[in-house]
Chains A and B, each alone.
Chain A
Amino acid sequence: MIWVNVLIQGILVGGFYALFACGLSLMFGVMKVINLAHGDVAVVAGYTAVFLAPQLHIAEVWSFVVVVPIFAVAGYVIQRTLIQKSIDRDPFTTLLVTFGLSVVIENLLLEIYSANGQSVNIGSLIGDSIHVSNVIYISYISLTVLITAIVVLGALQLFLSKTGTGRLIRAVADDREAAQLSGANYRHIFGIAAAIAFATVALAGIAYGMMTEIAPTSGGINLLYAFESVVIGGIGSLWGTLVGGVLLGIAQQVGAQINPEYQVLAGNLLFLIILGVRPHGLFGKKTAFS
């Protein structure tokens, strides 16, 4: 029965990883950009939520309503300025610039907040969970996050398949020049993709703050998990990212069950194995490879 709990906890955290990772996957799919500051954006969103909520006299748990749109706009702006300039240089520069951005953000947060953690207060929901049995607990917040992840991913998938803008995004991802020739302003499309990425990761960051404490360096470790989820599930597939996240979560929980020290290691090992055996992931298209 303990292993059933392990499975369930793995699935729950997998939902969070998928939510965190879908923006990363999107940005890479559309612009071939890996935003190494992706995780740090989530952390900044978490801190922003905690900061803004009292200013706007809203409960912290609803802060995402304000924060997510702000980050969508921020994503668009940062993409059209900093990241686009880097892309115009070469992919190399983009990596280096986003890496630099990540280090700068983390150290700025450290200066402002020091290494202390910060939590997003969700009131009575913290700690409450459904007791399925003696060993199986499903915390309300984790379940909510999983459901949110599924909803967001589903909405995103629908957006990409059924709407005009979604089609444009897919067209630009497929062949940027041909999309330009069909009338698409690719820089604007890039901006939209970045806006979506920042919005989803901001949501994930707030969710993170609800589940545990955010620290200035939390961004890094979550970026790692996000990246591993994308690779395990397959680059280029949104639902693959969900599957990847879940598998990563399960691997980590299994590792933790054997020895708490092995939690992250187990996830890394799964990642390395997939990389060795099936590099394009479970559902992936071979876009990260030449």
Chain B
Amino acid sequence: MTSGAESSVSTHESLFEVRDLSVFHGQLCAVDHVSFSVGRGEVLAMIGANGAGKSTLLRTIAGLHEAANGTIVFGGSDVSTLAPHRRVALGISLVPEGRRLFSTMTLEENLQVGAHFAKKGPFSIDKIYQLFEWMPDRRRQRVGLFSGGEQQAVAIGRALVTNPQLLLLDELSLGLAPIVIERIYALIPEIVSQGVGVLLVEQDVTQAMAVADRVHCLLEGKTSLVGTPAQLTPQQIERAYFGSDLSGTSPHGGAA
């Protein structure tokens, strides 16, 4: 069912692990017994079609949603029952789907909110201003008026400024032009170089593969494929993503 079972375990220093996690949306099982880990400075891409359970998974890790069973282990301790703000304090930071900026506040204020609870670390507001050169000039402008790409950058900045050890990115590319997406993704190596682990959720498989160390595919809440970009063929990914490929074979082998 899954290929490269050895690759489901990270080669990087251990940081974060999800064990046998199941999450429900009412009666619908959105995440079905999923396990994986993310190491320091590693990028794990969670791919899958719409409704595959990826966003629910991230929200559960961030604490906004309760898991039905399974554990979430961060820095060696079980955080499964902690409130969201406590997880931020420990070092987990989510950039939510749809950006969710404080639209009535200015750019700087958005960053300041993030910085309010920040732990010590490399990402200060000034560092964010270095990463995004256009920001200092527009710091006093209301973010509600920014473009999609600019808002995404602010959202990332707001999460980074908490100095997380694990950064969760939910659908960065949604609603953005390709060139903007590229620019945003170009930041990831910089972030990772500081030792931050990144768990990103993406529908855009190409972009995800380009930046990820490992890939984890979800199909209707279940793990359908795991491996490194080098190991996985396009056909394997297609099958895992859709449940079958154009020639009709399923990831479980045989006809769909």
Interface residues of A (CB under 8 A from B): 164, 167-168, 170-171, 174-175, 177-186
User: Contact partner of B85 among A164, A171, A183, CB < 8 A?
Assistant: A183
Which B residues are in CB contact (< 8 Å) with A178?
96, 100-102
In the complex the two chains form, what is the Cα distance from A186 to B109 in whole Å?
17
Which B residues are in CB contact (< 8 Å) with A168?
113, 116
Number of interface residues of B (CB under 8 A): 27
User: Contact partner of B102 among A175, A180, A186, CB < 8 A?
Assistant: A175
Which of B71-79, B86-94, B213-221 touches A?
Answer: B86-94
B193 contacts A by Cβ under 8 Å? no
Interface of A, secondary structure class, is helix
**Cβ of A183 and Cβ of B116 under 8 Å apart?**
yes
Interface residues of B (CB under 8 A from A): 62-64, 83-85, 88-89, 93-94, 96, 100-105, 109, 112-114, 116-118, 158-159, 162
Which B residues are in CB contact (< 8 Å) with A186?
85
Interface contacts beyond A181-B62, A181-B88: sample of 17 additional A-B pairs, CB < 8 Å, sorted by A: A170-B105, A170-B109, A171-B113, A174-B104, A174-B105, A175-B102, A177-B96, A178-B100, A181-B96, A181-B159, A182-B159, A183-B85, A183-B89, A183-B118, A184-B85, A184-B116, A186-B85
Q: Which residue on A lies nearest to B95, using beta carbons?
A: A181
**Contact status of A182 and B88, CB under 8 A, knowing A168-B116, A171-B113:** yes
**Cβ of A167 and Cβ of B100 under 8 Å apart?**
no
**Listed A/B pairs (8) with beta-carbon separation below 8 Å:** A168-B116, A171-B102, A175-B100, A180-B84, A181-B62, A181-B159, A183-B118, A184-B85
Which A residues are in CB contact (< 8 Å) with B103?
174-175
**Cβ of A182 and Cβ of B96 under 8 Å apart?**
no
**Cβ of B105 and Cβ of A180 under 8 Å apart?**
no
**Contact status of A183 and B117, CB under 8 A, knowing A164-B112, A170-B105, A177-B64:** yes
